[in-house]
Chain A
Amino acid sequence: MLVKISSAAILGLDAYQIEVEVDSIRGLPGQSIVGLPDAAVKESRDRVRSAVANSGFEFPSGYFTINLAPADTKKEGPLYDLPIALGMLMVSEQAPAREMNGTLVLGELSLDGSVRPVNGILPICLSLADKCSEILVPRENADEAALVRGLSVIPVRSLKEAVGHLSGKAIIASHKVDIDALFQDEPEYGIDFADVKGQGHVKRALEVAAAGGHNILLVGPPGSGKTMLARRLPTILPSLSLEEALEVTKLYSVTGSLSGKGSLVTRRSFRSPHHTTSDIGIIGGGRIPRPGEVSLAHLGILFLDEFPEFDRNVLEVLRQPLEDGKVTISRAHSSLTYPAQFMLVAAMNPCPCGRLYDARNACVCLPHQVQRYWRKLSGPLLDRIDIQLEVPRLKTEELSSLPAGESSAQIRKRVRRAREVQVGRFKGKRVFSNAHMTPRQIKEHCPLEKQAEAILKSAIVHLKLSARAYDKVLKVSRTIADLEGSDLILGRHVAEATQYRSLDRKGGEF
Chain B
Amino acid sequence: MGIESFEQGQKGEEAAERYLLQNGYQILKRNFHSQQGEIDIIARDRDVLVFVEVKNYSFRSYGSPLGAVRKSKRESIVHAARTYLLKNNVKDTNCRFDVLTISRHLDGSRRIELYKNAFFIN
Contacts and interface: CB of A to CB of B under 8 A. Distances in A.
Interface of A: 26-31, 59, 61-63
Given A61-B48, A61-B94, A28 B82 contact: yes
A27 B95 contact: yes
A28 B48 contact: no
B95 A28 contact: yes
Nearest to B93: A26
A362 to B, nearest CB: 70
Interface size of B as a range: 10 to 19
Contacts of A28: 78, 81-82, 85, 95, 121
B7 interface: no
Contact of A59 (B82, B95, B117): B117
A61 B96 contact: yes
A59 B81 CA distance: 20
B4 interface: no
B120 A30 contact: yes
A81 B10 CA distance: 44
Contacts of A27: 85, 92-95
Contacts of A29: 94-97, 117, 120-121
Contacts of A63: 121
A63 B78 CA distance: 14
Contact of B92 (A26, A31, A59): A26
B94 A62 contact: yes
Interface in B85-122: 85, 92-97, 117, 120-122
A101 to B, nearest CB: 30
Which of A26, A28, A59 has the most B CB atoms < 10 Å from its CB? A28
B38 to A, nearest CB: 17
Nearest to B95: A28
Interface of B: 48, 78, 81-82, 85, 92-97, 117, 120-122
A415 to B, nearest CB: 61
A204 to B, nearest CB: 68
A159 B122 CA distance: 24
A61 B48 CA distance: 8
Nearest to B94: A61
A427 B121 CA distance: 65
The 10 closest A-B pairs by CB, nearest first: A30-B121, A61-B94, A30-B120, A26-B94, A29-B120, A26-B92, A62-B94, A28-B95, A28-B121, A61-B96
Nearest to A61: B94
**Residue of B48, B78, B120, B122 with most chain A CB atoms under a 10 A cut-off:** B120
A26 B48 CA distance: 10
A477 B115 CA distance: 80
A63 B94 CA distance: 8
A399 to B, nearest CB: 66
A30 B122 contact: yes
A59 B97 CA distance: 13
Contacts of B117: 29, 59, 61
A59 B92 CA distance: 18
Nearest to A49: B120
Contacts of A62: 94
A59 B119 CA distance: 11
Among B48, B78, B81, B95, max chain A CB count under 10 A is at B95
Nearest to B117: A59
A376 to B, nearest CB: 54
A30 B95 CA distance: 10
Contact of A61 (B78, B82, B95): B95
Contacts of A61: 48, 94-96, 117
B105 to A, nearest CB: 29
Contacts of A31: 120
Q: Which of A26, A31, A62, A63 has the most CB of B within 10 A?
A: A26
Contacts of B93: 26-27
